[in-house]
Amino acid sequence: MVTKGLSGFSGKHVLLLQGPLGPFFRRLSRDLKEHGARVSKINFHGGDWLFYPTGAVSFRGQMKDWPKYLAQVLAEQKIDVVLMYGDCRPIHRCVREHTERLGVELGVFEAGYVRPNYITLERSGINDFSSIPRGSDFYVTTPAKPVNSPLPVGNVFWHAALWAVLYYLASSILRPAFRHYQHHRSLTVREAWPWCRGVWRKCAYYRKDREVQQRLETEYSGRFFLVPLQVHYDSQMHVHSDFGSVERFIEYVISDFAKNALPDTCLVIKHHPMDRAYRDYTELCDQLAQRHGLQGRLLAVHDVHLPTVFSHARGVVVVNSTVGFSALLHGVPVKVCGRALYDITRVTYPGFLRDFWRQAQSHKPNRKILQAFRSYLIEHTQMNGSVYKRLSRLDSHTGVVWKSAAAGVDHALTRTARPRPILWVVPNVAEPTSQCIASPLAAYSAAMKPAQRDNRAEKCP
């Protein structure tokens, strides 16, 4: 079921840069072509080539030469739209500057803000670079629209695992052909070992995790704070926060909890499931528990059923994880220590972390504002589907319900006004954000106007 969302690309020359693991961008190109678009693709390493082997060009130059090469491609081939997955990868960091300067539309895909049945598509930036309004006043006056239940994507783990194995195998074998490329993580067959280790850890911690969950639902119910961690290499940690590492965040939170939390409360550190293969912070948590005298009050866990845990938590502390957004939807007070899309006055806790431990229960999210935000977010940035697995019963090659963002895509690609320049944003620099815009790909057209966000002061380092 493809709506006229894809038809908005008709007559446009679309350039695809780096996509997610797997054949999603190859399938996307077929959808675009069937709806009248001309599609070009640039590959950067063997994994890209494996899933897009024909009809693409390969960039094999040095990374320092990439911005000039991109500018030439955009100008000489008269590119109308650039689509890519993620905006913080080394190869993508210069893209926004060049597309804005040349008046080329930029669309950024990412895993869904609303999990698990959505993917994200926004113009020019995602996460804290998003132009979604963040002022609570906007959502007070913007009633929540009914949101249809999405088609269930189901379990994507084995699809993602298969694409990952093939992706890294091809990247390793073809490394000599792309010897100058720099990825945001290792691109060798050695990546298979961490995945095996991750499976082992999942099994090894299974019984302990079930015991911890049972205790959270009984003896610790109502008196624990949950701290979900990020993936160690995630841009959410390195770009959209000032911590620099997961270890530093853990140390900061545990130290602050030990100094300021009530003595009858406890802290639960939850590993990120995608980081289990690479990091295990259990020993670090044990060491910090001894250092700060938190034995019996500090628990480290890998897998728990989050919806169940939310109903027993006193509060949640995040860098900027989407788990924080899920917790808010379950009515749990949330303190954001990084820069998150949903960090909105009257939704998240506005004060210092040191005060959150004692004040959390009196700062539950405003349901009206939160529901209006969620409705707006889904309408303007989310599409039902997955980048790893096609939804069944759909006519599109990608298996994505484009209708979710169809109006926005159409509006963006028929817009004639040249976008105003946007500079690449680096950590610790405030991001100017746009006023209310009615589409995901048109959102940054007013990015230099006064922002509809709260511009809340950072409360954590």
In 10 A of CB 227, how many CB atoms? 26
What pLDDT sits at residue 196?
67
Q: Where are the alpha helices (DSSP H) in 340-425?
A: 353-359, 367-381, 406-413
Question: What does the alpha-carbon distance between residue 429 and residue 447 come to, in Å, rounded to a whole number?
Answer: 15
CA distances from 281 to 39, 186, 228, 323 (A): 44, 21, 12, 19
pLDDT at 415 over 50: no
Q: Domain limits of the chain? A: 6-157+375-446, 208-371
pLDDT (average), residues 120-132:
86
The answer to whether residues 78 and 11 touch, using CB atoms and an 8 Å cutoff, is no
The answer to whether residues 37 and 7 touch, using CB atoms and an 8 Å cutoff, is no
User: Considering the entire predicted model, what is its pTM?
Assistant: 0.81
pLDDT (average), residues 167-195:
78
Match 């189901």 to its residue by tokens: 154
Match 């991109």 to its residue by tokens: 70
- Residue 398 carries which DSSP code? S
pLDDT at 376 over 90: yes
pLDDT at 426 over 60: no
Question: What does the alpha-carbon distance between residue 160 and residue 180 come to, in Å, rounded to a whole number?
Answer: 26
Q: In this structure, are strands 266-270 and 298-301 parallel, antiparallel, or unpaired?
A: parallel
For residue 171, give both structure tokens. 């990247």
Helix, strand, coil % in the chain, rounded to nearest 5: 40, 15, 45
pLDDT confidence of 192, banded at 50, 70, 90? low
pLDDT confidence of 128, banded at 50, 70, 90? confident
What pLDDT sits at residue 403?
64
The residue with greater pLDDT, 278 or 290, is 290
- HSE (side-chain half, CA atoms, 13 Å) at 437: 28
Report helix, strand or coil for 194: helix
Question: What does the alpha-carbon distance between residue 31 and residue 200 come to, in Å, rounded to a whole number?
Answer: 39
What is the dotted CATH code of the domain comprising 6-157+375-446? 3.40.50.20
Q: Where are the alpha helices (DSSP H) in 399-457?
A: 406-413
What pLDDT sits at residue 104?
96
Question: What does the alpha-carbon distance between residue 338 and residue 360 come to, in Å, rounded to a whole number?
Answer: 18
What is the dotted CATH code of the domain comprising 208-371? 3.40.50
For residue 391, give both structure tokens. 């939804």
Pick left, alpha or beta for residue 364 (phi over 0 → left; psi -120 to 50 → alpha; otherwise beta): beta
Contacts of 99 (CB under 8 A, 6+ apart): 74, 82, 105, 106, 124
Report helix, strand or coil for 216: helix
Match 């994505």 to its residue by tokens: 400
What pLDDT sits at residue 183?
76
Q: Across the chain, what does the average pLDDT equal?
A: 83
Which element (helix H / strand E) includes 349?
none
Nearest to 433 by CA among 457, 412, 456, 453: 453
pLDDT (average), residues 277-293:
90
pLDDT tens for 139-169 read: 999 888 888 889 999 989 889 888 988 998 8
Length of the chain: 461
Which residues lie across from 301 on neighbouring strands? Answer: 270
pLDDT at 252 over 70: yes
In 10 A of CB 41, how many CB atoms? 22
